[in-house]
Each structure stands twice: as structure tokens, then as C-alpha cells.
Amino acid sequence: MRLALFEPDIPQNTGTLIRLGACLGVAIDIIEPCGFLWSESKLKRAGMDYLGQAEVNRHSSWQAFQAARSGARLLLLTTKAAEPYSGFAFQPTDILLLGRESAGVPDAVHAAAEARLLIPMRPGLRSINVALSAAMVLGEGLRQTGGFPGHGESSLRS
């Protein structure tokens, strides 16, 4: 399983997700351009000393990411979905795609996803922080597929 961040806006969220990927053995794809200058100092506060432990792949564009994903199933986390992630059947090779904090993803990216998943929430509330959302859904995906480190397959092994 992988996490893909579409044109992330907030370096602290990106650093948090890189740290999550390092701890859980999940590779991170960054689809550029980012809404911030990419630098270790911008990511370090949230990523701490875990940044070097993560597999991070930067893609210069959506098209470059699409060319590199090798047919893996793309699952978009979005408030515009109808299907709750909690009832979805995950596969070990799935890529969880997260949109920009400020704008989500454009229609063409939305349409490219094989599934669109939402986190059920109380009525009238807009969204959960992107890093928290990723952790919730990734946790369920890893649970279903036996992908937690030490309990099955993982993309990063020491």
C-alpha cells in the first residue's frame, strides 16, 4: 500500500505523512507542484528525524505520477464520495490518494480514481485534517491486508 499526496499545500501535513509512512513501512508519492518550497527544514518539525527512514518518491506532475504507478488501483479520499472507507475491500497494492488541503483534486484526477472513499462524519462538518484522514484509512487498509510491519507484507523492510 502507498500514500500519494496531490500537490500538498502544508509542509507540516506532508512531514506528518512522511513520518507515518516511515513508521508503517508505506511509501509516499508526492505529486508536484507543492504549495510550499520543498526543503528538509520545512518538513522537519512534523517529520522529525523520521524523514530519512521513509521511501519518498517525488513526481513532477500528475502525468508523471500516472506513468509511474504501474496499474496499481488508485483510491481517492474525498468528501465528494458516497462510499465509506469502512466498508471498502482494500488490496495490498492500493494507492491512497489525498488531495490538496485547500482545494482537493481537479475533476480529471477525481475521474482517474478507481474508487472514491469518504470518512463518515457528523452532518454540517466539512472535513478532517488530511494527515488524520490518511492515518484512519491507511490503518484500515493495512489491517485488512495484513500490512502492518511485523504482520505480513510491507513495502519497506529494515
User: Coil, helix or strand for 117?
Assistant: strand
Q: How far apart are CA 146 and CA 140, in angstroms?
A: 10
Residue pair 2/156 in contact by the 8 Å Cβ criterion: no
Please state the domain extents for the chain.
Answer: 2-145
Give residue 32's pLDDT: 96
Give residue 158's pLDDT: 36
Give residue 157's pLDDT: 40
Give residue 70's pLDDT: 86
Q: How far apart are CA 100 and CA 54, in angstroms?
A: 21
User: Does CATH number 3.40.1000.10 belong to domain 2-145?
Assistant: no
Grid cell, residue 21, equals 509512512
Run of H or E residues at 57: strand 56-59
Q: How far apart are CA 137 and CA 129, in angstroms?
A: 12
For the CA atoms of the chain, what is the radius of gyration?
15
Give residue 51's pLDDT: 79
For the chain (158 residues), the mean pLDDT of every run of 10, in chain order, is 96 91 96 84 66 90 95 95 96 97 95 97 93 98 95 47
Residue whose C-alpha cell is 509512512: 21
Give residue 68's pLDDT: 95
